[in-house]
Amino acid sequence: MSLIVGAYAASAAHARWNPAAEQEFFEGLETLPDVRGLELPWIGSAHPHDDDWLYSHFPRRFDAVLTSVPGVMVRLRDEPRFGLASTDHGGRAAAVREALAMRDAVHRLNDACGRAAVIGIELVSAPTAGPSAIGSADALRSSLLELVEAGGWDEALLLIEHCDAAVADHPAEKGFLSVEDELTALADLPMSVGMSVNWGRSAIELRDPDSVAAQIARVAASDRLCSLMLSGTSAEVTAFGSDWADAHHPFAPIAGSSDAKAFPLGEPTSLLTLDRLRAALTAAGPTRWKGFKFGWADSVAPVARRIDMISAAAELIAAEMALSVHRA
C-alpha cells in the first residue's frame, strides 16, 4: 500500500534553493514506511535548482515519477501554441522534443540508482484552448505515437495526466483536453501509454467535488487508468491562493476514528474530505500506483513539520487503501 508523493509541493527548498533543507527533507521522507517514491517536477530539468544534486541525493530505495505540468505551464506563458495536443506543427514538435529531454533525465536517474527507478512520465494535453492555441485528440495521438516509436523509456509508462479541461461556464486553470478527447487519443496505442487522474484538478474542472469519483470511474472503465494522485482544492480564497486554485491543498482536517487514521494538519476549506477520498479509491480500483501531492502554505515552516504532514497523509491514505481492498 505504499505511495508516490509529490513532495516538492511541500518542500521548503522548492521556490528558493536551500541544499541543507532539501537534504533534511529527503532524509525525512526516506524514513516514512508508507512512501515508495517521489513525483518530481520537470521544469526543463529534473530538479528546479540542481540536477546533479538530485541524482546524488535521491533516496536509492525510492521509485520516481516525472511530471511535466510545471514546465509546460512555464512554456505556455511565452509559447501559447506549445503542447503535445497542439494543432500547430511547431508547437507540437517543440513539445515532443521536451518530452524526449525528459527521457534523457530518466536515463540519468536510473543510472544513478542502478536500476529502473523511474516508473512513469506524466505528460499533459496542452495547449490551453483558445482562439490562438487549439488542441485536438488527433494531434495528441500523433505526439504520443512519436514518443512510443522513439523508444528508450527504460520501462517507464507514458501517462497523460488529466488536468482541468476548458469548459464554457467558468475560467480554466489549465484548460487542456477533455477526458473523452484524451481517451480517444489513447484508444489504439500500446497499453504502456495510459492516464493519471489528479483529484484536485478534476474538482477544479467539474466545480462539484462529489462528481470527481464518476470521472475517475470513467477513466478506470477504459482500462487506461494507471495512477490516481490525490490533491485538494478549495472554493474559497485561502493562504494557498485564490478560489479553485490548483495549489495542492491537503485534506480537510480529519479526526481519528476506529476505521481511519487522523489528519490534523489540514486546510479547513479543502474539498478533499475523508468520504471523497474513499469514493475516489473505490472508483479507481486497482492501479499501477496511487499517491498524493499536498502543499504547505507557510513558507517559513520547518522541515520537520512538513514531514509530519506528509507522514500523516501517507498513513491515512495507506489505511484507506487497505480498507478499500477489504470492502471490495
Q: Give the per-residue SS3 of 304-327.
A: HHHHHHHHHHHHHHHHHHHHHHHH
What mean pLDDT comes out for the span 109-118?
Answer: 98
What mean pLDDT comes out for the span 88-95?
Answer: 97
pLDDT band (50, 70, 90) for residue 326: low
pLDDT band (50, 70, 90) for residue 270: very high
pLDDT band (50, 70, 90) for residue 1: low
Residue 144 has phi, psi (to 5 degrees) of -65, -40
Query: For the CA atoms of the chain, what is the radius of gyration?
Result: 18
What mean pLDDT comes out for the span 270-292?
Answer: 97
What mean pLDDT comes out for the span 122-144?
Answer: 88
pLDDT at 140: 98
Does 113 score more than 70 pLDDT? yes
At 11-20, the pLDDT tens digits run 999 999 999 9
* Residue pair 293/6 in contact by the 8 Å Cβ criterion: yes
Mutual orientation of helices 69-78 and 89-113 as an angle, nearest 10°? Answer: 150
At 140-197, the pLDDT tens digits run 999 999 999 999 999 999 999 999 998 888 999 999 999 999 999 999 999 999 999 9
pLDDT at 265: 86
> Which amino acid does the sequence have at 210?
D
pLDDT band (50, 70, 90) for residue 256: confident
Let me know if 18 is exposed, middle or buried by CB neighbors in 10 A (0-12, 13-18, 19+).
middle
At 22-43, the pLDDT tens digits run 999 999 999 999 999 999 999 9
CA-nearest of 294, 319, 323, 290 to 3 is 290
Rounded CA separation 208/279 (Å): 14
Does 321 score more than 80 pLDDT? yes
Q: For the whole model, what pTM was predicted?
A: 0.95
pLDDT at 327: 64
Is the CA virtual torsion 181, 188, 217, 265 positive or negative? negative
pLDDT at 129: 73
Structural domain boundaries in the chain: 3-327
CA-nearest of 90, 193, 192, 83 to 128 is 83
**Stretch (H or E) spanning 54:** helix 51-57
What mean pLDDT comes out for the span 56-84?
Answer: 97
What mean pLDDT comes out for the span 285-311?
Answer: 96
Percent of the chain with pLDDT over 70: 96
Rounded CA separation 200/36 (Å): 22
Long-range contacts made by residues 111-114, C-beta under 8 angstroms, separation at least 24?
Answer: 112/55, 112/56, 112/58, 113/58, 113/60, 114/60
* Residue pair 289/230 in contact by the 8 Å Cβ criterion: no
Rounded CA separation 279/318 (Å): 15
What is the residue-averaged pLDDT of the chain?
Answer: 95
pLDDT band (50, 70, 90) for residue 131: low
Grid cell digits, residue 158: 507514458
CATH fold for the domain made of 3-327: TIM Barrel (3.20.20)
At 196-237, the pLDDT tens digits run 999 999 999 999 999 999 999 999 999 999 999 999 999 999
Rounded to the nearest 10°, the torsion over CA 293, 297, 302, 305 is -50
Rounded to the nearest 10°, the torsion over CA 256, 261, 262, 265 is -170
Rounded CA separation 13/20 (Å): 9
